[in-house]
Amino acid sequence: MIVGLIVACEVAFWVLLAAGLAFRYGLRMPRVGLALLLCEPLLELVLFTVTAIDLRNGAEPDWKHGLAAVYIGFTVGLGHSTIKWADAWVAHRFAGGPPPVKPPRYGTARAVHEWKVAGRWILAAVVAVVLLQAAVWYVGNGQADSLRAWQQRMLWLVGINVVIAGSYTLFPKQRR
């Protein structure tokens, strides 16, 4: 059930995003579009609530519950930037807006950009780790091996993002 709900939340995220942008730009109803975009966090609230109820009703914590926490973390860390990117692209493509800003390609500006991207991924991982830890405390340490495994994966994700952003800082790409 949890995996199906995660898939439904992901599909609903993109449906709400498309509908919000369609109302905002296609139908020239920006308030309705904004209202639809503001409904996005409700998806995570539903997923969080259902996962907590599932655990409270005695479900054995497993990879599905960990995946739900990770999905919520990623939505918190990356959802806003995804919506912002899609909004800029649709505004440019269908409403005569300016072209979306491309990331810098070289030097310090590129390193700063990569650290901002890493920051969003790190925020996603930290939110997931916090939710996973709350679930560990909720169900008790004895049953939490699968949740702890997800925490380790999130720490790897943090490390990978730090290495990538750090590489742009230590070895900045130069114009040729």
CB 20 within 8 A of CB 36: yes
Q: How far apart are CA 176 and CA 170, in angstroms?
A: 18
Length of the chain as a residue count = 176
- Say what the pLDDT of residue 90 is: 95
Indicate if the pLDDT at residue 132 is higher than 90. Answer: yes
The pLDDT of 15-19, averaged and rounded, is 95
Torsion on CA atoms 42, 47, 49, 52, rounded to nearest 10 = -160
Indicate if the pLDDT at residue 141 is higher than 80. Answer: no
Task: Work out the mean pLDDT of the chain and round it to a whole number.
Answer: 93
pTM of this structure: 0.89
Q: How far apart are CA 24 and CA 34, in angstroms?
A: 7
Position 159 confidence tier, pLDDT thresholds 50, 70, 90: very high
- Say what the pLDDT of residue 110 is: 95
The pLDDT of 33-44, averaged and rounded, is 92
- For 98-114, what is each residue's pLDDT tens digit? 999 999 999 999 999 99
Spell out the domain ranges in the chain: 2-170
- Say what the pLDDT of residue 121 is: 98
